[in-house]
Amino acid sequence: MQHTLATGRAATLLKLAFAAGAKLSAAFIAFGLTALVTRNVPNDEAGIILSGLIIHTVFFVVRLCPNNVVLRFLSDHGLDEYRKEKLNKAILWAITVSIPLTSLSMIFVQFIAGDIFNKPEFWGVLFWMLPALPAIALFYLFSFAYQSRHKVILGTLVQNLGVLALLVVGLVYIWYDYTELLGVALLTNIHSAAAQIVLVLAFILWFRQNNVGLRYSGYKDGEMTSEAMVLWTASLMTLSVHWVRGRD
């Protein structure tokens, strides 16, 4: 018994160490990305790209994708039919909310950049980065599902490392062979493509598990809706405070 407990504890610590390493790697990659952009892209475009990445995270928070709720539900009793239904509904919510939100944001992107963020020069970057929003919302959801099944390393790779790593790889490739093409449009397109790739990988790896399938189970779920709305409202309030401070 003691040997089993010790082995389990060691395995848990190893997973946590790998997860911490993945997060640390993501931080280094983010630093490398900043260095590559600032050194190889014209100064005015580099600032727009990096600011666009920051503003893009704001759009990502404004969604109805109950990641923490899914994490709790799936952690409670494994992957029984009840938990699978919760995840399927969360996926449906994420798709239903993020795609219309993205479409509307792309239509009114100039208003959003100029009047909301007071950065009218960002509209072009935001326009090409917004298509990544639905993919990011979904693969974040899958990353929380992985964490609920104690697949901490995979969850961390999907959530923190995937898009950044692919973005840096794409940027380095362009830098070596097609330096003259480096610019806002190309980098934002690489970012959106990287998000789609990570989503496809996260989707395949999750649904290849035994007894896990994707099926329509409807939208209605009072328990999940109430908990998700509380988290969503809290996120919006936090963003509103930061927005007001930024405007001042």
Closest listed residue to residue 121, CA positions, set 130, 132, 129, 112? 112
Q: Are 57 and 193 in contact (CB under 8 A)?
A: no
So what's the pLDDT on residue 6?
44
List the domain boundaries for the chain: 2-247
Angle at 241 between CA 237 and CA 243, to 5 degrees: 110
So what's the pLDDT on residue 98?
81
pLDDT over 50 (residue 237): yes
Q: What is the DSSP letter of 105?
A: H
The three-class DSSP label of residue 203 is helix
> Tell me: the pLDDT tens digits for 61-108?
655 555 666 666 666 555 566 666 777 777 887 788 788 888 888 898
The three-class DSSP label of residue 94 is helix
pLDDT over 80 (residue 155): no
C-beta atoms surrounding 114 within 10 Å = 14
Helix locations, the chain, DSSP H: 2-40, 43-61, 67-77, 81-107, 109-111, 123-129, 133-148, 152-156, 162-177, 184-207, 222-247
Q: Are 83 and 74 in contact (CB under 8 A)?
A: yes
So what's the pLDDT on residue 95?
82
CA distance 151 to 208: 14
So what's the pLDDT on residue 192?
85
* Diameter over CA atoms, the chain: 64
pLDDT over 80 (residue 183): no
Give the chain's mean pLDDT: 72
pLDDT over 70 (residue 59): no
Q: Rounded mean pLDDT of 212-233?
A: 67
Question: What amino acid occupies position 20?
Answer: A
Residues 6+ apart with CB under 8 A from 119: 51, 55, 113
Q: How confident is the model at residue 213 (pLDDT cuts 50, 70, 90)?
A: low
Q: Is the pTM of this model over 0.85?
A: no
So what's the pLDDT on residue 2?
44
Q: Rounded mean pLDDT of 197-226?
A: 73
